[in-house]
Amino acid sequence: MNVTPRVLAVLNGILASAAPDERGALWQLAEPGRELDANLVRLPAGAEVGEHQEDVLDVLLVVLAGGGHLRTGSGDGPEGLELGGSTVVWLPRTSRRSLLAGPDGLTYLTVHRRRPGLAIKAPGGAYEGGEGPCMLDRVCPGCGRLSDDAAPVFCSRCGERFPER
């Protein structure tokens, strides 16, 4: 394992070289032996990441461009919390949330502890570690909806085809 610090990505360069209509995860941290996960995500105007809950990991979300709203269901109003460039949000584990991109779209970086391997809950629901993998591959590239299907082909909301895995 390489333990020497080094530059892994220049996010402005990745964003500048991405096609204007490219959306979803534009970059992911993929270094072997890492203890963190990170994703650079771009949502088009009006796209949404549906309501979901992360039961085990805290997530740090940093808005890099555009804006939108974070809905938490915690009395933050119908619009939710406003997100703009350079906003940093802590998403504590067990919190419910959804994202809605504004008219200029929403580009953000998420960082969290690396997910441990999958595990099976014991009968009776006792949690014994592990959790599901990142679900970015289930976010529709057209409208941003989180698919209930484990291997989606087409979005049930807008009909957009999911990229092949």
The pTM of the full predicted model, rounded to 2 decimals, is 0.70
In angstroms, the CA 18 to CA 44 distance is 13
91-141 tens-digit pLDDT: 999 999 999 999 999 999 999 998 766 555 556 555 455 445 677 788 888
Per-residue pLDDT averaged across 147-154, rounded? 79
Q: How many CB atoms lie within 10 A of CB 140?
A: 25
35-83 tens-digit pLDDT: 999 999 999 999 999 998 888 899 999 999 999 999 987 766 667 899 9
Report which of residues 102 and 31 the model is more confident about.
Answer: 102
What is the CATH architecture assignment of 11-114? Sandwich (2.60)
**Domain ranges, ordered by start, for the chain:** 11-114
**Beta-sheet pairing, 96-113 with 59-71:** antiparallel
pLDDT of residue 131: 46
